[in-house]
């Protein structure tokens, strides 16, 4: 039988016993020989061949901190595919690390219920001037004061050079050295938990980056049966796939067990090709369930999914893959079209406010209808999936950074519309996510940047980025992704917090998030206890939600003119809870403090008013 995965400990790569011995395990099914080379000496130790393509060694000649590589067939030297550290970059030797050397102090951290998450997506390199984990720790009190209770960190798997979004990582077990490495990440998680903040880590299991990708030298990690937009697909169902599947299952378990990560966000799982009887996501969930039963700690799996397919988020007992939640881009697209009128590319599928109303009601906008952009019927209905299974946002790294100039919403819409879009997200019956800096209307863009050291690859990326936006040629050149200026321009400007109108926007977000967290109706993510009415002519939307006898009505005007709306039936007058048009938020005019049911009222342009 194939060796089963041990959920209690890491087994691949180099791991140390309590007695200080290094246990080395490498999967290389097609090699004739493999040896461990300890850098800085003449130590070359052959590994023993085991069943199913594994090679093993137990030795006291490799210590924590040592650099090492593997000799493959006595011909080439390569880093460890399960390396925990690459201090000299993707082409250099691996470093042996004892993960148990940093003690945990978060034993009483329970993780938060998923339904309570208020997510904040950040990129380690551009979130702070320093661009590392230690600097994130310095901002945690700020995030607490904002109301955020879960940070979502873009990928940290080792990538080439010091600048990258993270989706070009080539060592899924190694933490980026320029960010602070594995021990820096552990320290950040410990500090987050002490301050009551959950940690979500973005991981990439649909492809590997090109530079420093030596996996083919070890074994058939990839298959030419399928392609992804980023190259060859990872081999989850072809010959020799068992070793590949184990590799990624162990990666998930490592983040949860050894780094105490609270949730993983799995990038673009629609690009994972797997026709096995048990899909790799389902197998991952089964092992995570085993781990949680063993440790008593709660962990979540959140997927980015460009498919309106509940099979991914339905529980295992319903033959689903068991993912806990998914990003729901369609809410963003409907909101963006409503706010801006933009209808190029994939936005062409969205009519605006009618589709936004449908997103509030049904989560998926397309749940079986014909999609003109895809030229086919698309999606199925999400009838029984609760609101906490859908993550919504007004912007994220993709929706900002995949624009030619990387403009944030702050550069595309008015101050008033920014507040309205924030309100539209935070009053939804779904999990809200902010993108770093949006809460103070950060004007800097978030552009696409890389730091490849291979000149040919760097030039190919430049040309590809220019070609991608060739139809924008009248609007200027796409920024050079290799330029450090592109990276520096993408950093947040923390000094803006001392200036207006950024202070006011931040206070508005703080108030809005507090209202969502504290009001029983907004906190309760029932998709059944709501009604939504859209008026396409007026560009107004009335969202009515209720729970346990309490009611909230959210009035939204996406037009540039005042509009008259009527509040739904209610026992007694509606009391105002929040008004984005109030002068305290730099708005033009405050709405009435109380409004009677069925009474028409004037709604200011580009505003949201919440009554309860």
Q: 455: which residues sit within 8 A by CB, 6+ positions away?
A: none
For position 229, what pLDDT does the model report? 85
- DSSP for residue 453: S
CA dihedral (238, 244, 246, 251) positive or negative: negative
180-239: per-residue pLDDT in tens? 999 999 999 999 999 999 999 999 999 999 999 999 999 999 999 998 888 789 999 999
DSSP state of 210: S
**DSSP 3-state assignment of 328?**
coil
Cβ(287)–Cβ(255) under 8 Å? no
Which one of 152, 304, 349, 362 is the catalytic residue? 304
Mean pLDDT on 316-338: 97
With residue 224 as reference, give the H or E element that holds it: strand 222-228
CA–CA distance, 424 with 516 (Å, rounded to integer): 11
Q: Is the pLDDT of residue 472 over 70?
A: no
Q: 42: Cβ–Cβ under 8 A, 6 or more apart, which residues?
A: none
Four-residue CA torsion sign, 509, 511, 517, 521: negative
Q: Is 267 annotated as a binding residue?
A: yes
CA separation for the pair 610, 567 (Å, rounded):
11
Residue 432 has pLDDT above 50, yes or no: yes
Would you state the pLDDT for residue 496? 98
Question: What does the block give as tokens for 59?
Answer: 């030795």
What φ, ψ does residue 129 adopt, rounded to 5°? -60, -35
The Cα–Cα gap between 562 and 195 comes to: 43
Per-residue pLDDT tens over the stretch 356-385: 999 999 999 999 999 999 999 999 999 999
Half-sphere exposure of 415 (CA within 13 A, CB side): 17
Model confidence band, residue 63 (pLDDT cutoffs 50, 70, 90)? very high
How crowded is residue 8: how many other Cβ atoms within 10 Å of its Cβ? 12
Residues 6+ positions from 420 with CB-CB distance below 8 Å? 339, 556, 557, 558, 580, 606, 607, 608
Confidence band, pLDDT 50/70/90 cuts, at residue 4: confident
Backbone phi, psi, residue 434, to 5°: -100, 150
330 is in an annotated binding site: yes
511 neighbors 504 (Cβ within 8 angstroms): no
Does 402 belong to an annotated binding site?
yes
Q: What is the pLDDT of residue 468?
A: 65
* 3-state secondary structure at position 546: strand
Average pLDDT estimate for 347-356: 94
For 565, the token pair is 């709306």
pLDDT of 544 above 70:
yes
∠ CA 591-354-333, nearest 5°, is: 95
Q: Are strands 263-266 and 198-203 parallel, antiparallel or unpaired?
A: parallel
pTM of the model: 0.97
pLDDT tens profile 547-595: 999 999 999 999 999 999 999 988 889 999 999 999 999 999 999 999 9
The proportion of the chain whose per-residue pLDDT surpasses 90, expressed as a percent, equals 90
331 is in an annotated binding site: yes
> How many other C-beta atoms are found inside a 10 Å radius of the C-beta of residue 158?
31
pLDDT, average across residues 142-164: 97
Residue with tokens 């949730």: 263
| pLDDT at res. 236 | 98
Using DSSP, state whether 292 is helix, strand or coil: helix
CATH class of segment(s) 528-611? mainly beta
pLDDT band at 59 (very low <50, low <70, confident <90, very high): very high
CA atoms within 13 A on the CB side of 239: 5
Residue whose structure tokens are 């909230």: 552
**401 annotated among ligand-binding-site residues:** yes
- Mean pLDDT over 521-527 rounds to 96
Q: Which CATH number fits domain 13-101: 3.30.565.10, 2.60.40.10, 3.40.50.1110, 3.30.300.30?
A: 2.60.40.10
Q: Which structure tokens are listed for 327?
A: 């990003």
Rounded-to-10 torsion of CA 602, 604, 608, 612: -30
Token pair 């702050």 is found at 410
Distance CA 332, CA 472 (A): 23
The residue from 267, 439, 442, 606 that is catalytic is 267
pLDDT at 476 over 90: no
Which three-class secondary structure string do you get for 457-496? HHHHHHHHHHHHCHHHHHHCCCCCCCCHHHHHHCCCCHHH
Find the mean pLDDT for residues 524-550: 96
The pairing of beta strand 325-327 with beta strand 300-304: parallel
Most distant CA atoms of the chain, gap in Å: 86
**Count of CB atoms situated within 10 Å of the CB of 97:** 24
Q: In this predicted structure, what is the pLDDT of residue 345?
A: 86
Q: Which residue has the tokens 């493999």?
A: 34
pLDDT band with cut points at 50, 70 and 90 for residue 102: confident
Residue 272: per-residue pLDDT? 97
pLDDT at residue 18 above 80? Answer: yes
> d(Cα 279, Cα 237) in Å, to the nearest integer?
9
- The 3-state DSSP class for residue 435 equals strand
Other C-beta atoms within 10 Å of 171: how many?
26
Give the mean pLDDT of 498-506. Answer: 98
Is a pLDDT exceeding 50 seen at residue 94?
Answer: yes
* Domain residue ranges of the chain, discontinuous segments joined by +: 13-101, 117-208+246-507, 528-611
Establish whether 265 is an annotated binding residue: yes
Backbone angles phi, psi at 386, to 5 degrees: -70, 165
Single out the residue of 356, 448, 464 nearest to residue 399, CA to CA.
448
Q: Is 304 a known active-site residue?
A: yes
Confirm or deny that 399 is annotated as ligand binding. Answer: yes
397 is in an annotated binding site: yes
Q: What is the radius of gyration, based on Cα positions, of the chain?
A: 25
CB 378 within 8 A of CB 371: yes
Is 329 among the annotated ligand-binding positions?
A: yes
pLDDT of amino acid 462? 81
328: left (phi over 0), alpha (psi -120 to 50) or beta: beta
Closest CA to 579 of 551, 602, 607, 552: 607
Q: CA 503, CA 109: separation in Å to the nearest integer?
A: 32
Q: Tokens for 304, please give them.
A: 């980015």
What is the secondary structure of 569-593 as a DSSP string?
A: P-SS-EEEEEETTSGGGT-S-PPPS
Arithmetic mean of pLDDT, 456-479:
71
For the chain, the average pLDDT equals 95
pLDDT score recorded for residue 455: 86
Token pair listed for 393: 């946002």
Would the annotation count 268 as a binding residue?
yes
Which tokens go with 291?
Answer: 């781990």
| 287 known ligand binder | no
* Inter-residue contact 125 to 163 (CB < 8 Å): yes
* Domain boundaries 117-208+246-507, CATH class: alpha beta
Share of the chain above pLDDT 70, in %: 98
The answer to whether 310 touches 320, Cβ cutoff 8 Å, is: yes
Tallying the residues shown for the chain, one arrives at 612
Instruction: Examine domains 13-101 and 528-611 and report if their fold is the same.
Output: yes
Say whether 270 counts as a known binding-site residue: yes
Q: Which two tokens stand for residue 9?
A: 């400990």
Specify the 3-state DSSP secondary structure of 65.
coil
Give the per-residue pLDDT at 464: 74
């Amino acid at each position: 039988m194939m060796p089963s995965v041990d959920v209690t400990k890491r087994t691949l790569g180099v791991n140390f016993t309590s007695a200080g011995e290094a246990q080395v395990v490498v999967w290389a099914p097609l090699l004739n020989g493999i040896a461990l080379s300890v850098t800085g000496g003449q130590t070359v130790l052959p590994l023993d061949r085991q069943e199913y393509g594994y090679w093993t060694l137990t030795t006291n000649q490799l210590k924590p901190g040592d650099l090492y590589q593997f000799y493959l067939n006595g011909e080439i030297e390569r880093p460890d595919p399960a390396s925990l550290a690459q201090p000299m970059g993707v082409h250099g030797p691996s470093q042996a690390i004892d993960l148990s050397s940093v003690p945990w102090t978060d034993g009483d951290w329970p993780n938060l219920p998923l339904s309570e998450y208020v997510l904040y997506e950040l990129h380690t390199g551009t979130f702070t001037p320093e661009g590392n984990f230690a600097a994130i720790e310095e901002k945690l009190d700020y995030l607490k004061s904002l109301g955020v209770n879960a940070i979502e960190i873009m990928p940290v798997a080792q990538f080439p050079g010091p600048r990258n979004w993270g989706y070009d990582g080539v060592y899924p077990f190694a933490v980026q050295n320029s960010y602070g490495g594995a021990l820096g990440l552990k320290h950040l998680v410990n500090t987050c938990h002490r301050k009551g903040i959950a940690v979500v880590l973005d991981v990439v299991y649909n492809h590997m980056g090109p530079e420093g990708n030596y996996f083919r030298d070890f074994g058939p990690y990839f298959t030419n049966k399928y392609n992804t937009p980023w190259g060859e697909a990872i081999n989850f169902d072809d010959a020799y796939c068992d070793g590949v599947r184990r590799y990624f299952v162990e990666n998930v378990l490592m983040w949860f067990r050894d780094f105490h990560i609270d949730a993983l966000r799995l990038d673009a799982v629609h690009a994972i090709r797997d026709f096995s009887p048990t899909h790799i996501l389902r197998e991952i969930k089964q092992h995570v369930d085993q781990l949680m039963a063993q440790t008593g700690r709660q962990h979540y799996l959140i997927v980015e999914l460009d498919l309106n397919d509940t099979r991914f988020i339905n529980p295992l007992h319903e033959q689903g893959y068991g993912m806990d939640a998914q990003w729901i881009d369609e809410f963003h697209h409907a909101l963006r079209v409503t706010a801006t009128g933009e209808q190029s590319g994939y936005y062409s599928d969205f009519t605006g406010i009618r589709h936004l109303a449908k997103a509030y009601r049904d989560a998926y906008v397309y749940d079986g209808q014909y999609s003109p952009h895809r030229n086919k019927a698309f999606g199925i209905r999400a009838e029984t999936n609760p609101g906490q299974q859908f993550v919504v946002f007004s912007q994220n790294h993709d929706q900002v950074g995949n624009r030619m100039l990387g403009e944030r919403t702050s550069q595309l819409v008015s101050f008033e519309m920014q507040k309205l879009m924030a309100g539209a997200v935070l009053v939804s019956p779904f999990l809200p996510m902010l993108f770093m800096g949006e809460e103070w209307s950060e004007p800097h863009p978030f552009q696409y940047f890389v730091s490849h050291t291979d000149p040919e690859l760097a030039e190919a990326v430049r040309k590809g980025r220019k070609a991608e936006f060739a139809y924008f040629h009248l609007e200027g050149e796409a920024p050079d992704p290799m330029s450090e200026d592109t990276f520096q321009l993408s950093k947040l400007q923390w000094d803006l917090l001392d200036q207006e109108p950024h202070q006011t926007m931040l206070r508005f977000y703080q108030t809005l998030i507090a209202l969502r967290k504290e009001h029983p109706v907004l906190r309760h993510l029932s998709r059944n206890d709501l009604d939504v009415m859209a008026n396409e002519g007026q560009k107004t939307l009335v969202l009515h939600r209720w729970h346990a006898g309490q009611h909230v009505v959210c009035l939204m005007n996406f037009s540039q003119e005042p509009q008259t709306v009527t509040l739904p039936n209610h026992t007694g007058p509606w009391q105002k809870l929040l008004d984005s048009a109030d002068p305290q938020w730099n708005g033009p005019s405050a709405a009435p403090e109380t409004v009677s049911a069925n009474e028409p009222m004037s709604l200011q342009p580009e505003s949201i008013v919440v009554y309860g």
